[in-house]
Amino acid sequence: ALPRKEQFIVGRLYKGFWLPEPYAPGILAVRRRFTPRPDDVVLTSYPKCGTTWLKALAFAAMARDAYPPVAADHPLRRLNPHACIPFMEDIFTERQEAKLEGLPSPRLINTHTPYSLLPETVTTGGGCKVVYICRDPKDMVVSLYHFLRRLQPDLSFADTFHSVLEGTVPYGPMWDHILGYWHASVARPDRVLFLKYEDLLQNTGEHVRKLAEFMGRPFSAAEEAAGTVASVVELCSFDNMKNLEANKTGATERKYISIAHDAFFRKGVTGDWVNHMSPEMASRLDEIFRDKLRGTVLT
Ligand code: A3P
């Protein structure tokens, strides 16, 4: 058996995707057993593309009646965002579906599962709503490298880079992950919202409005006048979140892995790849993605 942390770096190839070994049974169980409610919102992403931020923004927007974003005791000021929204892989791997059943509607749930491996109950018919966040792959590689190094300190950047190119990283290949959600968002725009980390950074407020509207919780004129959108943006901003005690200390304890909370907050910028990649590496990655994403408007 592999040491448990390294199991995350290798995976099991299933229907074209490298699933993290310990989660593979859970992902298959989701397919068989997850029954969405029509007002569920499933937050999805390729790892290291802004999941934590999306979780915080969606939670803050969805729960704003119960927890005004300016409240001193807001859950996001006390808890890491991952503690506010369950991770589907964990729930089904640990057979804790009752926890999901017990959540009041509308539920927010999170997964990294590729679109084609989601249950048909989610991807067809009324299903539920799905939000995807993607990011410049070059910045994802850098973020992934720093994240995985905490689990495997001898990992090199070059190895991480080559694994991404080969597609053999958890939930890879990244291009097919993106394409699945992209095509779904084109085919079912009322059910699948496709967001980009870079757009969110550029105009967070506009995207919080879009997200809230998509989730069925648009901001009212009174909320607009009261500056509620700006309060959500501020609460979930990188600087605010990174400096909260709940995110500086402690860890998300999963059955197979312990992830220090501060590992989810590194730099929070775009373009950090220039500090890690040679121009040749960047062109190579860009070229592969250009080729794979051909026929879409994604750049
Ligand atoms: P960097 O490593 O480039 O800094 P995920 O949540 O999917 O694991 O993605 C982690 C990336 O999102 C990290 O990128 C992290 O710093 C960034 N991030 C986390 N919270 C953020 C926030 N509130 N605003 C912007 N970026 C955030």
The DSSP symbol for 219 reads P
Contact 274, 251 (CB under 8 A): no
The whole-number average pLDDT for the span 257-264 is 91
Could you read off the pLDDT of 52-75 as tens digits, one per residue? Answer: 999 999 999 999 999 999 999 999
pLDDT at position 110: 97
Overall size of the chain counted in residues: 299
Could you read off the pLDDT of 2-57 as tens digits, one per residue? Answer: 455 555 566 889 999 999 888 899 999 999 999 999 999 999 999 999 999 999 99
CA 50 – ligand 1 centroid, Å: 5
Could you read off the pLDDT of 145-161 as tens digits, one per residue? Answer: 999 998 888 889 999 99
**Atom 14 of ligand 1, residue of closest alpha carbon:** 268
Q: Residues with Cβ within 6 A of ligand 1? A: 45, 47-53, 56, 139, 143, 146, 236-238, 241, 264-268, 272
CA 111 – ligand 1 centroid, Å: 16
Q: How far is CA 252 from CA 18, 58, 145, in A?
A: 23, 19, 19
